[in-house]
Chain A
Amino acid sequence: MAPERVFIKGNEAIAQGALDAGCRCFFGYPITPQNDIPEFLSKALPEAGGEFVQAESEVAAANMLLGAAATGVRCMTSSSSPGMSLKQEAISYMAGSELPAVVVNMNRGGPGLGDIGPAQGDYYQSTRGGGHGDYRLLVLAPATCQEAYDLVIEAFALAFRYRNPVLILGDAILGQMKEPIARRESVTYDDASGGWHLDGNAGRDKRLIKSLFLDEGALAGQNRHLMAKYAAMRAETRWEAFQTEDAELVVCAYGSIGRIAKSTVRKLRARGLKVGLLRPITLYPFPDAPLLALAGQGKRFLTIEHNCGQMVDDVRLAIRTKADSDFFGVMPGELPNPDDLEGPILKSLEG
């Protein structure tokens, strides 16, 4: 039987993906442009035997997530940029306590209240931890509704594999765009075998989930353990390479902007111009190796983002021994189309 195809918005694809992945608890708070996610799950999750709570704030929602995650169930929260700032407290505690959960940020324009349109201004916050202390999240950046659906399902598996929060970073374009997606028939998983979650200490020693390490050497040990885990996450690095083989200029862009840049690259290819696209799908871990390999082949680079220049730092770090990257920023508050990116790409191509 062919998988069911449904025509839904990106926000709904994320909610559907969570449901199909076996998410049992969702904790949310209203903020545009992600409201379809809690709205969808407020009906669908209780019908599936799960729990939906509209929290009193993003702070509370993220801490409810921490509590549910401690019991080893699949759980999620979603928000948009100003709300994400409020969730950082709990996310830092979850990283420190090694708790698995999925967090969704449908990025809007900032700083401050910004606007409710698409933007990528939360790249630094997403890829540098976001809260206090040394920690990282696995960060997945879908560009289409299908990819959003698939990556949410993947995110739950990754969260449990690494006992770490996983961030889905979308934007208002992805959230509000409607596309057909193919649903998976069933997702099977076994999260209970880890032997770390809380369910009462019947027949075993008590378990403690915490991020406080006061004993001499304990916190240093925990930080070394976390760093080793983040290094192991490099195995999860994902990217899309589109016509990069013979390209003279490689455009690096992620998420919705990656998709728009792909249209521009396709159009310029039709005119015989040797441009390609490298679209990071994981923003952490960042696809350093493929970028460095392309730099080794003598290619030039242009990073395009919907912000004032954030991911370009990571591109430059990746290729720093061989090449540099130009940057073109679409300002938060502006909505680009493929034609808008043509000029900057041609400029970098001509060098």
Chain B
Amino acid sequence: MQAAEKLVFKTPDVIIDRPTHYCPGCQHGTAHRIVGEVIDELGLADKTIAVASIGCSVFLYNYLNVDAVEAPHGRAPAVATGVKRARPDRTVFTYQGDGDLASIGMAEIMHAANRGERITVIFVNNTVYGMTGGQMAPTTMIGQATTTCPGGRCAEREGLPIKMAEIIGMLGGVVFCERVAVNSVKNIARAKKAVRKAFECQEQGLGFSFVEFLATCPTNWKMSPVDANKRIADELIPYFPLGTIVDRTGGGEDK
């Protein structure tokens, strides 16, 4: 190697080098990478057990070089509870989309959080069911057209988009809860900091940690990646505000 060459950008060791199956502009890859970087930096790769969910995110296990188990739709927090109770010395995290976590899996996420299971939940909210072809999710924005609300989501008919991070933050077993986005370099840096803190909570045995990612789905939003990224800032962040919702890592009161 030439002395002048300086490596400034490297794929995390735990990320498997393979072509992505995600659509152009999809931010699952960014979220995967952030999780991978944190696992590497905290030295957790050989003690981590990932719990994959149903939807586009099921293929998380194809990109991360860690042991993994596939959970039925919405049940990842229950599966992770079983894994963690059986192996409390291992790092256990779920990676779930908004249909999985905020609709069919609402009971499992609420109770795992409330019990304060020593697990980390990475929640990717792109306001739509991605893999099944763009149906309405509990997080779909008012007016957003999907294949099952073609005229746009209507508050009177379908209710308002669910703010999961705020709901989770209310539960007693939660030690750390933050909403992040990956639409800018600044936000990516913040997201990584939050994910790092979430995994640190688990390593310190403090309790349940939760990070909600706002993410794009250009294919089902029927937008270019650039426009989809712009929608995060213009539409999503005003309704789903970014920031720390709960931080009890100091052992004290809520932030």
Contact of A209 among B68, B81, B84, B115 (CB under 8 A): B68
A220 at the interface (CB under 8 A from B): no
B106 to chain A, nearest CB (A): 10
B79 at the interface (CB under 8 A from A): yes
**Quick one: closest A residue to B16, CB to CB?**
A206
Cβ contact within 8 Å between B67 and A66: no
Known: A57-B107, A199-B90, A201-B45. A210 touches B82 (CB 8 A): no
Cβ contact within 8 Å between B65 and A201: yes
Cβ contact within 8 Å between B47 and A89: no
A68 at the interface (CB under 8 A from B): yes
Indicate the member of A53, A206, A207 with the most B CB atoms within 10 Å. A206
- Residues in B77-100 with C-beta less than 8 Å from chain A: 78-87, 90-91
**Quick one: closest B residue to A197, CB to CB?**
B67
Q: How far is the CA of A67 from the CA of B82 in the complex (A)?
A: 4
A6 at the interface (CB under 8 A from B): no
Binds B, one of A70-78, A119-127, A272-280, A291-299: A70-78
**Quick one: closest A residue to B115, CB to CB?**
A53
B145 at the interface (CB under 8 A from A): no
Cβ contact within 8 Å between B67 and A64: no
B111 at the interface (CB under 8 A from A): yes
B16 to chain A, nearest CB (A): 9
B46 at the interface (CB under 8 A from A): yes
Cβ contact within 8 Å between A66 and B71: yes
Indicate the member of A56, A75, A202 with the most B CB atoms within 10 Å. A56
A97 at the interface (CB under 8 A from B): yes
Cβ contact within 8 Å between B65 and A27: no
Cβ contact within 8 Å between A68 and B71: no
Q: How far is the CA of A232 from the CA of B210 in the complex (A)?
A: 45
B66 at the interface (CB under 8 A from A): yes
- Which residues on the A side are within 8 Å of B68 (C-beta)? 198, 206-210
Q: How far is the CA of A70 from the CA of B69 in the complex (A)?
A: 7
Contact of B69 among A27, A59, A89, A209 (CB under 8 A): A209
Known: A56-B107, A59-B107, A60-B111. A27 touches B70 (CB 8 A): no
**Quick one: closest B residue to A66, CB to CB?**
B79
**Quick one: closest B residue to A99, CB to CB?**
B69
- Which residues on the B side are within 8 Å of A208 (C-beta)? 61, 67-70
Cβ contact within 8 Å between B70 and A71: no
B108 at the interface (CB under 8 A from A): yes
B42 to chain A, nearest CB (A): 13
**Quick one: closest A residue to B114, CB to CB?**
A56
Q: How far is the CA of A60 from the CA of B71 in the complex (A)?
A: 11
B48 at the interface (CB under 8 A from A): yes
- Binary per-residue interface labels of chain B (125-168) against chain A in the complex, 1 for a CB within 8 Å, 0 otherwise: 00000000000000000000000000000000000000000000
Known: A56-B108, A199-B67. A63 touches B49 (CB 8 A): no
Q: How far is the CA of A181 from the CA of B88 in the complex (A)?
A: 34
Cβ contact within 8 Å between A89 and B72: yes
Contact of A68 among B72, B75, B85 (CB under 8 A): B85
A200 at the interface (CB under 8 A from B): yes
A329 to chain B, nearest CB (A): 35
**Quick one: closest B residue to A97, CB to CB?**
B70
Q: How far is the CA of A89 from the CA of B46 in the complex (A)?
A: 30
Give the tally of cross-chain contacts (CB within 8 A): 137
B242 at the interface (CB under 8 A from A): no
B51 at the interface (CB under 8 A from A): yes
Q: How far is the CA of A57 from the CA of B109 in the complex (A)?
A: 12
B58 at the interface (CB under 8 A from A): yes
Q: How far is the CA of A226 from the CA of B48 in the complex (A)?
A: 29
- Which residues on the A side are within 8 Å of B75 (C-beta)? 59-60, 63, 66, 89-90
B150 to chain A, nearest CB (A): 29
Cβ contact within 8 Å between B108 and A201: no
Known: A63-B75, A64-B78, A66-B79. A198 touches B108 (CB 8 A): no
Contact of A198 among B58, B83, B111 (CB under 8 A): B83
Contact of B67 among A51, A90, A93, A198 (CB under 8 A): A198
Q: How far is the CA of A176 from the CA of B118 in the complex (A)?
A: 37
- Binary per-residue interface labels of chain B (53-74) against chain A in the complex, 1 for a CB within 8 Å, 0 otherwise: 0000010010001111111100
Contact of B49 among A51, A59, A71 (CB under 8 A): A71
Cβ contact within 8 Å between A199 and B78: no
B17 to chain A, nearest CB (A): 14
- Which residues on the A side are within 8 Å of B80 (C-beta)? 67
A79 to chain B, nearest CB (A): 15
Cβ contact within 8 Å between B70 and A64: no
**Quick one: closest B residue to A67, CB to CB?**
B82
- Could you list 12 further interchain pairs (A-B, Cβ under 8 angstroms) beyond the known A63-B75, A73-B86, A210-B61? A25-B86, A56-B107, A60-B108, A61-B78, A67-B79, A67-B86, A71-B49, A71-B87, A199-B49, A200-B47, A200-B49, A206-B65
Top 3 nearest A-B pairs by Cβ distance? A67-B82, A202-B46, A63-B78
Chosen A-B contacts, 12 in total, with CB atoms closer than 8 Å, are A25-B86, A57-B107, A59-B108, A63-B75, A67-B78, A67-B79, A68-B83, A97-B70, A200-B49, A200-B91, A201-B66, A207-B67
Interface residues of A (CB under 8 A from B): 24-25, 27, 51, 53, 55-57, 59-61, 63-71, 73, 75, 89-90, 93, 97, 198-203, 206-212
